[in-house]
């Protein structure tokens, strides 16, 4: 009798365990065998924009075929919307995963359910697609939400991009700080390009064997850090730029480029902000050219942004790499470093032409 009871009890525990596992599994997730991946390279398993695992968020996947034949796969319409904003004229067709069949279907003819009780991907407002409208209506009946076309859904996703991206960035801060520690301890730290997305960063890590073997969450953390090192920076040590500050040389809004900011303060407590050292030095040598009459002796402080730490450092004690393959907002740039060794190491890795001290910078070099 006791044996039967124990057997029954064990069976109940196993059943509860299975039920809990099913409940804890994300709705978007599928088995690898159920997912269709449109690419064959090292990046095929993750979103080209955010770097998240495509199978884990498969039910919200979108795929784009470009006019040149290239294909990319995205975890969500949020990431698809970012690509659409930047490359709409290059896109041939967009597909989306049907939530029921798990097959890719034409996004243009799909019916979307927005704002159901099922979790969203990269957005608090979930967006699931269906090939048949009756399937969408059935899903809506069970889980709530609103019915929309692809065109309407894409517009909603585009309109909320800024807000959703800000939310995602806040969540990424911890990951970026973790990624910075991992990168500093077990990854090669040279010859890094600038990355346009977390996915691009992640693929670079894989293709170039940049780090020792990483678990998926560690790899994502390093990719986030390399894509946006500002997330891991000490903001109290960075140059603080007013949102409306424009570079007096080129007219661009400087706050958009925190990795490149430079600053000149004059005695009258007025500050000028620049989107790079090159523009700062143009102004330094010839302020009247940019409708200002400051003299060199009027300047009380000059700050630049250290390339590695993003900390504000004294411009006159910094070292600058000229002619590297890393470009700033205004193209080829004078890239500042706190120490000469860091500048020399960077120059070797990035094909720099010279390492200069502040007094070595001449006006003719800037044009």
* Tens digit of each residue's pLDDT (9 = 90 or more) over 238-282: 999 999 999 999 999 999 999 999 999 998 778 999 999 999 999
pLDDT at 58 over 80: yes
The model's pTM is 0.72
Residues 228 and 239 in one domain: no
Tell me whether residue 16 is in a domain.
no
Tell me whether residue 223 is in a domain.
yes
* Between 14 and 282, residue with greater pLDDT: 282
- How confident is the model at residue 69, as a pLDDT? 94
Using CA atoms, how far apart are residues 320 and 306, in angstroms rounded to an integer? Answer: 10
* Between 350 and 336, residue with greater pLDDT: 336
Residues 304 and 194 in one domain: no
Residues 116 and 219 in one domain: no
49: DSSP letter: T
Terminal alpha carbon distance of the chain: 92
Tell me whether residue 165 is in a domain.
no
Question: Model confidence over 285-305: pLDDT tens digits?
Answer: 999 999 988 888 899 999 999
Residues 227 and 247 in one domain: no
> Mean pLDDT over all residues of the chain?
91
Handedness of CA 126, 127, 128, 130 (dihedral sign): positive
- How confident is the model at residue 191, as a pLDDT? 62
Cα 81 to chain centroid distance, Å, stands at: 14
Residues 134 and 103 in one domain: yes
Tell me whether residue 64 is in a domain.
yes
Using CA atoms, how far apart are residues 224 and 107, in angstroms rounded to an integer? Answer: 29
Residues 186 and 147 in one domain: no
Give the structural domain span for 196.
171-232
Tell me whether residue 19 is in a domain.
no
Write phi, then psi, for 225 (nearest 5 degrees).
Answer: -65, -45
- How confident is the model at residue 14, as a pLDDT? 42
Residues 96 and 145 in one domain: yes
CA distances to 1, 66, 255 from 117, in Å: 45, 33, 38
Residues 124 and 198 in one domain: no
Cα 284 to chain centroid distance, Å, stands at: 33
Question: Model confidence over 20-44: pLDDT tens digits?
Answer: 444 457 999 999 999 999 999 999 9
Apex 120 CA angle, 115 and 122, nearest 5: 125
Of 111, 133, 159, which one is at a domain's C-terminal end?
A: 159
Residues 183 and 155 in one domain: no
pLDDT classification of 190: cutoffs 50, 70, 90: low
Residues 245 and 216 in one domain: no
Nearest to 149 by CA among 121, 111, 104: 111
Total number of domains constituting the chain:
3
Residues 201 and 126 in one domain: no
Q: What is the mean pLDDT of residues 86-106?
A: 97
């Amino acid at each position: 009798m006791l044996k039967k009871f124990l057997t029954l009890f064990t069976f109940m525990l196993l059943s509860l365990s299975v039920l809990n596992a099913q409940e804890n599994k994300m709705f978007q997730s599928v088995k690898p065998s159920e997912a269709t991946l449109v690419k064959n390279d090292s990046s095929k398993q993750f979103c080209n924009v955010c770097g998240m695992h495509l199978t884990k968020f498969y039910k919200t996947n979108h795929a784009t075929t470009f006019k040149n034949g290239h294909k990319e796969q995205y975890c969500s319409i949020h990431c698809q919307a970012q690509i659409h904003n930047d490359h709409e004229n290059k896109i041939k067709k967009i597909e989306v995963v049907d939530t029921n069949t798990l097959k890719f279907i034409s996004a243009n003819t799909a019916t979307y359910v927005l704002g159901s009780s099922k979790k969203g991907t990269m957005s608090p407002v979930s967006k699931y697609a269906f090939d048949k409208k009756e399937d969408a209506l059935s899903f809506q009946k069970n889980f709530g939400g609103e019915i929309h076309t692809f065109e309407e859904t894409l517009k909603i996703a585009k309109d909320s991009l800024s807000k959703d991206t800000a939310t995602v960035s806040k969540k990424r801060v911890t990951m970026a700080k973790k990624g910075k520690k991992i990168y500093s301890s077990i990854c090669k730290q040279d010859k890094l390009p600038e990355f346009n997305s977390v996915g691009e960063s992640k693929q670079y890590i894989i293709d170039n064997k940049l780090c020792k073997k990483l678990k998926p969450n560690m790899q994502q953390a390093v990719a986030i850090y390399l894509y946006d090192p500002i997330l891991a920076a000490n903001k109290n040590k960075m140059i603080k730029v007013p949102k409306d500050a424009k570079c007096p040389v080129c007219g661009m809004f400087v706050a958009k480029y925190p990795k490149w900011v430079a600053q000149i303060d004059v005695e009258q407590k007025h500050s000028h902000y620049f989107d790079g050292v090159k523009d700062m030095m143009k102004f330094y040598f010839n302020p009247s050219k940019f409708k200002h009459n400051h003299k060199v002796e009027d300047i009380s402080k000059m700050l630049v942004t250290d390339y590695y730490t993003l900390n504000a450092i004294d411009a006159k004690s910094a070292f600058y790499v000229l002619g590297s393959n890393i470009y700033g907002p205004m193209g080829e740039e004078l890239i500042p470093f706190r120490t000469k060794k860091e500048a020399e190491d960077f120059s070797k890795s990035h094909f720099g032409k010279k390492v200069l001290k502040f007094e070595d910078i001449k006006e003719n070099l800037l044009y």
